Amino acid sequence: MKQVYSQVSSVVPKPFVKWAGGKRQLIPILNENLPKSFGTYYEPFLGGGALLFHILTDRNGQKCSISDLNSDLVLAYTTIRNRIDDLISSLKNHEKNYRKDSKSYYYSIRESNPRSEIEKTSRLLFLNRTCFNGLYRVNSKGKFNVPLGRYTNPNIVNEENLRSVSTILQSSKTSIKCRDFEAVLRDAKKGDLVYFDPPYQPVSDTANFTSYTNKDFTDTDLFRLAELCSKLDSKGCKVLLSNSDSKQVADMFSDKPWNVSKIQANRSINSNSKKRTGHFELLIKNY
Ligand SMILES: C[S@@+](CC[C@H](N)C(=O)[O-])C[C@H]1O[C@@H](n2cnc3c(N)ncnc32)[C@H](O)[C@@H]1O
């Protein structure tokens, strides 16, 4: 279906933010593990939406329900869909000011707290492009706290991709919500596909990254998730789940109907560059 998409836009849409735990590099293996057919596609830990964009590009007209608990991120999806021209103008303005004095401009925007949807979204995209390691991280008060990155010429306005994302979100039947993952259970029906990519269980003290929102993803959340997976299974939904290669997770899904496989992944977000190497993750499904 890629040809269908190229009729309306010249570039294939891809994640518009760099996000910790982003799945772009794992798309080939995730694709191999998708069921052949499914009803609505649910992605309740959306992040950068790597698998969403792959599915929307490959399956024209696919019905999707996407959500995340990070309200700034969810707002970015709706702003890109609904107000792309205003957003691009605002980003171009950030780019112009950044070129004049990157350091002071970066920190002035990091400290700012804009009210309008356009300014909030362009701030998120600007910081994501210019901050250290392209990492979204907030402190316990929910304040973005990443320092300036060392880039000579960051691509602040990736206009082609943003327009392409906007077009595909407008043309697809996609509902976008800010909500906790458990709300999915209420809507999902037999034959629907739910892909869960939650914040990972830490496999070591230095490997934990859970600051997508001011609420950490705790063991209680993981138990809620495991319970939800079995309820969705009883309803006849197809469930696919990614997580770290941790014993805790493997033990939770050791019984039928779960198939657990180890896959090799490369992670680029770790403050220690020597630790940004390949490692194993778990892929769990009930079909
Ligand atoms: C591993 S990331 C998803 C990455 C995504 N698959 C990608 O390709 O970029 C996990 C996401 O879960 C979100 N999240 C954390 N706790 C949540 C909750 N209780 N309900 C819904 N989303 C949550 C975070 O904001 C984050 O965006």
pLDDT tens, N- to C-terminus, the chain (287 residues): 444 444 455 799 999 999 988 999 999 999 999 999 999 999 999 999 999 999 999 998 899 999 999 999 999 999 999 999 999 999 999 999 999 999 999 999 999 999 999 999 999 999 999 999 887 888 878 888 899 999 989 999 999 999 999 999 998 889 999 999 999 889 999 999 999 999 987 776 554 444 676 677 889 999 999 999 999 999 999 999 999 999 999 999 999 899 999 998 875 555 555 555 568 999 999 99
Residue recorded with tokens 């327009």: 163
Do you find a cis peptide bond into 257, omega within 30 degrees of 0? yes
Helices 50-58 and 159-171: crossing angle in degrees, nearest 10, is 60
In angstroms, what is the span from residue 214 Cα to ligand 1's centroid?
A: 12
Say how many Å lie between the CA of residue 96 and the centre of ligand 1: 32
Q: Whose CA is nearest to atom 27 of ligand 1?
A: 47
Task: For the chain, list the strands marked E by DSSP.
Answer: 41-43, 63-68, 173-178, 193-196, 238-244, 259-266, 278-285
Contacts of 113 (CB under 8 A, 6+ apart): none
Cβ 249 vs Cβ 216: under 8 Å = no
Q: Please give the distance, rounded to the nearest whole angstrom, from the Cα atom of residue 70 to the centre of ligand 1.
A: 8
Please name the helix (run of DSSP H) or strand (run of DSSP E) that holds residue 161, with its range, or none. Answer: helix 159-171
For ligand 1, is residue 48 a contact (CB within 6 Å)?
yes
**Ligand 1 neighbourhood includes 197 CB (under 6 angstroms):** yes
Closest CA to 64 of 171, 174, 166, 167: 174
Please work out whether the CB of residue 53 comes within 6 Å of at least one atom of ligand 1.
no
Nearest CA to ligand 1 atom 8: 22
- CB-based contact 278:235 (threshold 8 Å): no
- The answer to whether the CB of 85 falls within 8 A of the CB of 26 is no
* Ligand 1 atom with least separation from CA of 15: 9
For ligand 1, atom 19, name the residue with the nearest CA.
Answer: 180
| Dist. CA 181 → ligand 1 center (Å) | 9
The ligand 1 atom nearest the CA atom of 50: 8
Q: What is the pTM of this model?
A: 0.91
Residue 224: exposure state from Cβ atoms within 10 A (0-12, 13-18, ≥19):
middle
In sequence order, the 6+-apart residues with CB closer than 8 A to the CB of 23 are 30, 48, 50, 51, 197, 242
Give the position, in ligand 1's atom list, of the atom nearest the Cα of 182. 20
Distance (Å) from CA 211 to ligand 1 centroid:
10
The rounded Å distance from CA 100 to ligand 1 centre is 35
| Ligand 1 atom at minimal distance to the Cα of residue 45 | 12
DSSP state of 129: H
Q: Residue with structure tokens 């991280």? A: 137
Q: Is the CB of 105 under 6 A from ligand 1?
A: no
100: Cβ contacts below 8 Å, ≥ 6 apart: none
Nearest-CA residue for atom 18 of ligand 1: 180
Give distance in angstroms: CA of 48 to centre of ligand 1: 9
Give the integer Cα–Cα distance in Å for 32 and 256: 21
Atom 17 in ligand 1: residue holding the nearest Cα: 69
Between CA 8 and CA 30 the distance in angstroms is 26
Q: Which is the closest atom of ligand 1 to the Cα of 43? A: 6
